[in-house]
């Protein structure tokens, strides 16, 4: 990496932030890790050379930006990696307040908000020729089974599968009341697949990776707790160009369902930010954060799109354990027992960097101390 200054990684509570801190620190990049509280996995990592706290970007974006500007102006940071969408949008809405010399490689706020809109993003991908499942705000028109979910946001918060029309309409109204707007999408039976891209200024994939979900939390469908690398779909470059044509640059994860029987990849939503399973591509040799930093510095790194197939990574605490509990409650004893397999590697657990595991175990203390974190993690959020 050119230059002697380092990188600020925000949102240190999240697995993806810890993965970014470790990925950069291991190659010698000085990393400042930040969060609302000190008790956060990425902040406590041995690979964080500097640790900072800042006001809540959700509850007080003005104070957050003022604090962030002071941190950046101290002269130790060349690149800013905002890991959570809420944090990134708070920064982009006031981008001119950032001190000169700090680089932020990201799309405009309007583009990110547009991609986070599940109805708008479904229409965008469908218009580009992708086989998007029927998606609507009319719960009476979508074929069953279907999935009801908030119109904006990500993860499993507010998402429910329905097989009955009356239940579909009732759940749609419940989700709409809680999250202001909801959508209904036809459910595609099959396996969940994630395609992750780092889109550069030319619309090319500076980094690309695909994985298949093997376990999830909740067990009925949610964030992946065990996943493995799979070959990239042949048209991943077309996907990058489709997003770039709308003005997008930066990291993005597109969620697909691999239709049972046909193998067709059907995109279901766009997550225009870093994703929770970031540790997996890094372990497979695709260092998204390092490529991101190089792009932010104006460099032209060669594409990182080759990696071994079958590499696995687990989110054990608490994701995989909760997934096992979900299988147990559903009477799926074999699947529940599979969670007890001690094999790694893991998103958080590490014998060479153990402090983040302790921070994750004590994370409820941090949540209790921060109303913004409670709000972020209760469903009124954007993030994984």
Tens digits of residue pLDDT in 65-123: 999 999 988 877 899 999 999 999 999 998 888 888 889 999 999 999 999 999 999 99
| 193 close to 265: Cβ distance less than 8 angstroms | yes
Is the four-CA dihedral 69, 279, 208, 323 of positive or negative sign?
negative
| 13 close to 363: Cβ distance less than 8 angstroms | yes
What is this structure's pTM?
A: 0.92
Is the four-CA dihedral 115, 121, 125, 131 of positive or negative sign?
positive
Beta bridge partners of 271: 253
Tens digits of residue pLDDT in 219-246: 667 789 999 999 999 999 999 999 999 9
- Residues 42 and 78: their CA atoms lie apart, in Å, by 19
- pLDDT of 100 reads 83
| 2 close to 299: Cβ distance less than 8 angstroms | yes
333, two tokens: 């004893």
Tens digits of residue pLDDT in 327-349: 888 888 888 898 888 888 999 99
pLDDT at 31 over 70: yes
Residue ranges, CATH 3.40.50.20, the chain: 6-104
- Does 3.30.1490 match the CATH number of domain 134-186? yes
If one counts every other C-beta atom within 10 angstroms of the C-beta of residue 249, the result is 21
Residue ranges, CATH 3.30.1490, the chain: 134-186
Nearest to 89 by CA among 105, 117, 112: 112
**What is the CATH architecture assignment of 6-104?**
3-Layer(aba) Sandwich (3.40)
For the chain, give the percent of residues with pLDDT over 70: 92
- Does 3.30.470.20 match the CATH number of domain 108-131+188-349? yes
């Amino acid at each position: 990496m050119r230059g002697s200054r380092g990188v600020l990684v925000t949102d240190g509570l999240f697995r993806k932030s810890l993965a970014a801190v470790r990925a950069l620190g291991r190659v010698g990049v000085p990393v400042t890790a930040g969060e609302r509280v000190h008790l956060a996995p990425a902040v406590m990592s041995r690979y964080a050379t500097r640790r900072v706290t800042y006001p809540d970007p959700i509850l007080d974006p003005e104070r957050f930006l003022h604090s962030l500007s002071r941190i950046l102006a101290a002269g130790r940071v060349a690149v800013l990696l905002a890991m959570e969408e809420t944090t990134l949008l708070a920064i982009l809405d006031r981008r001119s307040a950032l001190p000169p010399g700090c680089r932020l490689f990201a799309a405009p706020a309007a583009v990110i908000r547009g991609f986070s809109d599940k109805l708008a993003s479904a229409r965008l991908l469908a218009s580009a020729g992708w086989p998007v499942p029927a998606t609507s705000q009319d719960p009476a028109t979508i074929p069953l089974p279907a999935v009801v979910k908030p119109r904006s946001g990500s993860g499993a918060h507010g998402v429910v599968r329905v097989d009955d029309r009356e239940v579909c309409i009732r759940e749609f109204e419940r989700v709409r009341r809680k999250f202001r707007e909801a959508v209904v999408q036809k459910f595609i039976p099959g396996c969940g697949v994630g395609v992750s891209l780092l889109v550069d200024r030319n619309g090319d994939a500076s980094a690309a990776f695909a994985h298949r979900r093997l376990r999830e939390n909740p067990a009925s469908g949610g964030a992946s707790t065990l996943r493995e690398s799979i070959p990239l779909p042949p048209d991943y470059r077309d996907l990058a160009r489709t997003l770039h044509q709308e003005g997008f640059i930066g990291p993005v994860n597109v969620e697909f369902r691999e239709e049972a029987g046909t193998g067709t990849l059907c995109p279901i939503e766009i997550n225009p930010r870093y994703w929770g399973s970031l540790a997996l591509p890094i372990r497979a040799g695709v260092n998204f954060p390092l490529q991101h930093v190089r792009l932010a510095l104006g460099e032209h790194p060669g594409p990182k799109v080759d990696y071994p197939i079958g590499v696995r990574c687990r989110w054990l605490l608490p994701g995989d354990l909760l997934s096992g509990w979900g299988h147990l409650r559903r009477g799926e004893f074999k699947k529940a027992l599979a969670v007890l397999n001690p094999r790694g590697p893991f998103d958080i657990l590490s014998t060479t960097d153990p402090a983040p595991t302790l921070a994750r175990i004590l994370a409820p203390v941090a949540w209790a101390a921060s109303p913004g974190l409670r709000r972020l993690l209760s469903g009124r959020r954007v993030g994984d």
